[in-house]
Structure 1
């Protein structure tokens, strides 16, 4: 916490990393039910129920309406903002038949091929990507 006067200031800095959502304790609390829903898809009978009627199944979980709508829209970036953990959300896109690369490429706005080529080449360049506020 060097250079920070309190924990809240320190944690706020995590929100200033472009293109990244740090999975903090606050995000974990916010996304608890969302992530429990996603993990429920590990069981074949739950996957069958989900695939048969997504809205009915998701309405059984005490999530926010915003979380439910983001799941139904497969808006993974929004789900991360709403407390989703990508490793738990993988259960959703796996149930949809998507690989990790296919699902994550949707989060970048790139085609699967372009995303894969970028990652093979070493990933996204950090140049100019240090701060959302732009003050560093």
Structure 2
């Protein structure tokens, strides 16, 4: 059967999309505790504990040290690589007082204004690098 790929080849293709992290089952498993931590910030008492001592609060969760450090650094791109789901991570930046647009613009290296203008104009152009492996 021409063009057939096994599941591993199929899933590997998701890692070839420049600037995109596809939230796969593997990422969901990897980020389970990270995402549970983020969702815990929906409760005011947990937000208060988090704001009082971020490190102590993180240490209550069975996350990797790399995940914890990425949270402390507010490195949202790294958190996505480590299994974070952007909708769960929004609880972290909301707790910091950031809007979705403000937080996501930091992930693109663009100013809030430039990011918002790009999105209002229809988003990123489909032209450009379409494959990390092929560089095109």
Task: Say which SS state the counterpart of residue 16 (structure 1) adopts.
Answer: coil
1:66-77 to 2 correspondences below 5 Å: 66-77=66-77
1:16-35 to 2 correspondences below 5 Å: 16-35=16-35
Over 3 Å counting, the alpha-carbon distance change for 1:135 and 1:60 in structure 2 is same
Q: Could you tell me how far 1:108 is from its partner in structure 2? A: 0.2
**How many residues are treated as equivalent by the alignment?**
135
Over 3 Å counting, the alpha-carbon distance change for 1:135 and 1:95 in structure 2 is closer
Question: Structure 2: how far apart are the matches of 1:135 and 1:77?
Answer: 21
Question: Structure 1: how far apart are the matches of 2:135 and 2:22?
Answer: 20
Q: Which runs of 4+ in 1 moved over 4 A?
A: none
TM-score (normalised: structure 1): 0.96
1:1-136 to 2 correspondences below 5 Å: 3-134=3-134
Q: Could you tell me how far 1:135 is from its partner in structure 2? A: 6.1
Q: Deviations over 1:36-90 (max 9, x none)?
A: 0000000000000000100000010000000000000000000000000000000
Asked if 2 retains the 8 angstrom alpha-carbon contact of 1:4 and 1:10, the reply is no
Question: Structure 2: how far apart are the matches of 1:61 and 1:4?
Answer: 41
Over 3 Å counting, the alpha-carbon distance change for 1:54 and 1:135 in structure 2 is closer
Question: Structure 1: how far apart are the matches of 2:67 and 2:94?
Answer: 18
Task: Return 5+ residue gaps in structure 2 as ranges.
Answer: none
Question: Structure 2: how far apart are the matches of 1:77 and 1:23?
Answer: 13
